[in-house]
Structure 1
């Protein structure tokens, strides 16, 4: 059966895929546009898409040969799942494989933003460091602070464990439904979490309901020294409102791994010293990407064989 892989995966996964399928792999790292998505659906039995591929409702309007989309990644906001299902396709993702790596990236951003690590490295690389002194580049000590987590799924809970066990932080959180989490306190609104926390971390899935869950109101509720970290998806934060809050000094800083119009990063963000900017590194470790690939391939094989896949969405 014919499998389209939208962008090359680690070598071990490509070998395993070719052992099982007639594989076509695009020779670009750019996302699939709408025309490519339509053509893929018409020409292949299974498609293994990933972040940014344009499987919007318009992709499912033409002839369809494909049985399903085995998404590489836990997030699938680039796929109109309802339209895919209406066209008879199964959609899967790769939960679990990404949890620890994404939580580790959140901790990286928390520490970098709080301790001004990006700003300090730029100073050293520019040859501007004049030596240690007692009040140089004072940041925020994270141990014992309060972290507020927006979204308490697998990744949110992994972040909470790291913050509590590793840094003695108090944990408060907002979740779309009630949830009991050990050593963490659920608050009723996003704004309440933002007001209570020294560090706010977004860990929600990107859905129409969570778009701009961190908006101007949420940012206004944050304390002046507080830091916002986003490792979810770019559009869960109102980027324009965040830029305004950072420029005006209404919040202390931010750490971002994702952006609202990725890969476009606004000039205004890149000009700010009080923000750490990473190029969507959330799961960028070889063993993690191999785990994701194996999970996506298992889903693809199940789809091809007409079985219920391990990870339907």
Structure 2
């Protein structure tokens, strides 16, 4: 009997035949109402769940799915998946780290270029029949700081260094001896050494609020900030204040605390560019991500090791009463 996969992701429908052709039965539940109904109605049928970091899978949902064996997360982040609940049940969790790195890096550089060169204001002015001579900085020769030098951070660094002659520094959980970029021991040190700062780190408790008032002060009034990571990496109130008071020059954001809601204070600012969490979306990235999910599912249900496992916390050990 084919394994049944509950699909919570709303952006991959065109590529779901990849999984169907591998023999998996799919239940689509992209809205909160459909999700709740599917968990209740099909609880005993679901063997696997396909989700993404912000959508997650919660402890009560895991408890409601007695036959759940594997959770596959699209993209690198898995911040809303209850890893402890999965570990307690012995459920495997995988992610798609690195598959969409090119797409996210392209979007990061697009946001940076648009922000620094003020493309939205130029576009709006021309549409109004105006012809302003807006003087903006160049990217060439500037200092780029990257918070998180994983697959996405590396893709950004290569584009910045090779394509724009930028000097690259980074902060990471660990120093990397395999890269030519300068390591900074703290986010504040990184910001102080940067003209532009890009957050490219995963979300979760380990990276929560790494970008705060102190870091933004270190970036300074001529500095620009781009976030294609997770909103949890930033203290949003500190960012808004820094932008309002021009303690930094501007910000470009693809991620927000309560998506799809965006603070009105951010919408009102002229020195901010906003995009609707689409950095990782491209046909190439989506196809590659679904293909990786398929390989993980096939491996798991064939009794083989999955390709991209997430390290889980220790599960609860229950002992029989003597």
* TM-score w.r.t. length of structure 1: 0.91
In 1: Cα distance, 2:220 partner to 2:145 partner: 12
Residue among 171, 184, 203 paired with 1:174: 171
Contact 1:152-1:204 within 8 A present in 2 as well: yes
Deviations 1:95-121 (A, max 9, x none): 221111111111001101100112222
State the match for 2:243 in structure 1.
246
Residue among 195, 208, 213 paired with 1:211: 208
**How far 1:196 moved relative to its partner?**
1.2
State the match for 2:314 in structure 1.
none
Q: How do 1:50-89 and structure 2 match up within 5 A?
A: 50-89=52-91
In 1: Cα distance, 2:140 partner to 2:178 partner: 21
State the match for 1:130 in structure 2.
130
Gaps of 5+ in 2: 311-322
State the match for 1:22 in structure 2.
25
State the match for 2:118 in structure 1.
116
**How far 1:12 moved relative to its partner?**
5.3
In 2: Cα distance, 1:84 partner to 1:178 partner: 31
- For the aligned residue pairs, the C-alpha RMSD in angstroms reads 2.1
In 2: Cα distance, 1:31 partner to 1:73 partner: 23
State the match for 1:232 in structure 2.
229
**How far 1:278 moved relative to its partner?**
0.7
In 2: Cα distance, 1:181 partner to 1:148 partner: 17
* Higher mean displacement: 76-85 or 193-202: 76-85
Gaps of 5+ in 1: none
* TM-score w.r.t. length of structure 2: 0.89
**How far 1:306 moved relative to its partner?**
3.1
In 2: Cα distance, 1:205 partner to 1:271 partner: 28
Question: Would the alpha carbon gap of residues 243 and 282 (structure 1) be closer, same or farther in structure 2, given more than 3 Å must change?
Answer: same
Residue among 288, 293, 297 paired with 2:290: 293
**How far 1:216 moved relative to its partner?**
1.2
In 2: Cα distance, 1:228 partner to 1:38 partner: 43
**How far 1:188 moved relative to its partner?**
1.3
Contact 2:266-2:272 within 8 A present in 1 as well: yes
In 2: Cα distance, 1:42 partner to 1:213 partner: 41
In 1: Cα distance, 2:39 partner to 2:198 partner: 33
Question: Would the alpha carbon gap of residues 215 and 40 (structure 1) be closer, same or farther in structure 2, given more than 3 Å must change?
Answer: farther
Q: How do 1:38-57 and structure 2 match up within 5 A?
A: 42-57=44-59
In 2: Cα distance, 1:54 partner to 1:34 partner: 13
SS state of the match for residue 19, structure 2? Answer: helix
1:185 aligns with 2:182: yes
Contact 1:10-1:286 within 8 A present in 2 as well: no
